[in-house]
Amino acid sequence: MISRLIDRLPRRTGQNVLRSLRSVTRRSAACKFAVRFCISLASILVLSLVFDGRAVAAAESGNTLSSLMDQFKLPKSSTIQLLETVGLFIGGIIFCVALDRWFSNRSARSGNTPLAEQARRLKQLKIGYPEGMTNLEVLRDQGLLETRLRPLGLSVTWSSFLSASSLIEALSNGTIDFCGGGGTASIFSQAADHVFVRVAKEKYTSPKGQAILVPEDSAIQTLADLKGKKIAFDKGSSSHYVLVRALAKVGLEFSDIQPVYLTQPEALPAFRRGEVDAWVIWVPYRVTQARSAYPGRSIADLESIFDDKASLEVPTYYYAIPEIVRDYPDLLKVILEEVNEAGTSAKRQELEVAQRLAAQHEIDPSIIETLQKHSAERAIIPIDDQSLTALQRQANTFRDLNLIPERVNVKDGTYSLQTKQNWTY
């Protein structure tokens, strides 16, 4: 499997991948400079030929130097000569700019841009997402990506998955090309030699985005009360890690509880029937205004478990197949740009809803300040050393619990594209 990965992505580090992408950019810029230089040189030659032509004509007609000067009507005044020289220079620049613009427009119309060429090669972009991943759902619903890529002949298809682990497995077997999901799933996928690349991460994780629920009439009041209890969660998901850290916060070991491995759709009816004592859930299933009749109460959430480190400790990543990173860098840039736009739009909508609820005294007004700050910032950011260090802590925790067969290095450039500067997606 590792050899497959090397074949798909020849360079073993994210830095090398980045350098490859930058070299493509530099070559493109160099080509543009060469074209413009040639245009400028040609313009100067044309003007020189015109001047020489007049000189030759004057010589053939037997004119003296003074007659040649008369033909060009060059005044003896140095000031006027300077003005004519400046005018000729400016005219040459305008001519070069106009010619360059003409060539650029022609190239754009003919669809010879790197993005257009990559779109023609790929033909279809397949995106996967887990239910409740806001940025990708907004991107799908608003059709932002289709609007940008359809004119280039590239179609976009969307597929919903039950979990992030199934999403990354789908990347590995070629079912999809790009997806988003929790960072925890990528650890288990990397340990299973699945083929994927982490390409970006969401800047913020909602502090209420995950929670540990118990039935309304349960005697469980605190995390310490979970000892010996049956707790449902999706194995290998971020909920798995949240539970491990929640237990550690009150001095409990993972062996102190009875894990019940269920996907979230499977866990919901089991929780309703009282077959489990607690349930670790994420955004789509937590208690919201839309699910006001949903049974259960929260005894802990990301904020109470991780304080202000939730975005670092429980991140959401974006993943792509190695071919997208290697062969379609301009297309990847467009995808991430539109994901960011969708995330910004989603945050504005969230702020508007919160402002209405605050006006009706249904939520704490202090939430508004946080949402205002987030709505003015990027939705996604590059993967940096700090975020991968936190993800490595997760990987080490799961290895210590013997939940993955061997230690994995999440900073392996084969799996994580690190970009520390000039990140403009």
Q: For the segment 273-331, what is each residue's pLDDT rounded down to a tens digit?
A: 999 999 998 765 544 554 445 578 999 999 999 998 999 999 999 999 999 999 999 99
- How would CATH label the architecture of 210-310? 3-Layer(aba) Sandwich (3.40)
3-state SS, one letter per residue, for 333-375: HHHHHHHHHHHHHHHHHHHHHHHHHHHCCCCCCHHHHHHHHHH
Task: Indicate the DSSP class of residue 216.
Answer: T
| pLDDT of amino acid 413 | 87
Residue spans per domain, the chain: 14-110, 115-204+315-342+382-400, 210-310
- pLDDT bin (cut points 50, 70, 90) of residue 417 is confident
Q: 151 — phi, psi (to 5°)?
A: -60, -20
Are 185 and 163 within 8 A, CB to CB? yes
For residues 232 and 242, is the Cβ–Cβ distance under 8 A?
no
For 283, the token pair is 């955004």
pLDDT tens track for 221-262 = 999 999 999 999 998 889 999 999 999 999 999 999 999 999
What gap in Å lies between CA 98 and CA 158, rounded to an integer?
43
Question: How open is the CA angle 35-92-101, to the nearest 5 degrees?
Answer: 45
Q: Do the domains 210-310 and 115-204+315-342+382-400 match in fold?
A: yes
185-198 burial code (b ≥16 CB/10 A, e <16): bbbbbbbbebbbbb
Q: How far apart are CA 350 and CA 283, in angstroms?
A: 14
- Give the pLDDT mean for 7-19: 39
Which of 24-33, 122-131, 340-349 is predicted most confidently? Answer: 122-131
Q: Facing residues of 126 across strands?
A: 157
Contact call for residues 302 and 242 (beta carbons, < 8 A): yes
Q: Which CATH class is domain 115-204+315-342+382-400?
A: alpha beta
Whole-prediction pTM value?
A: 0.69
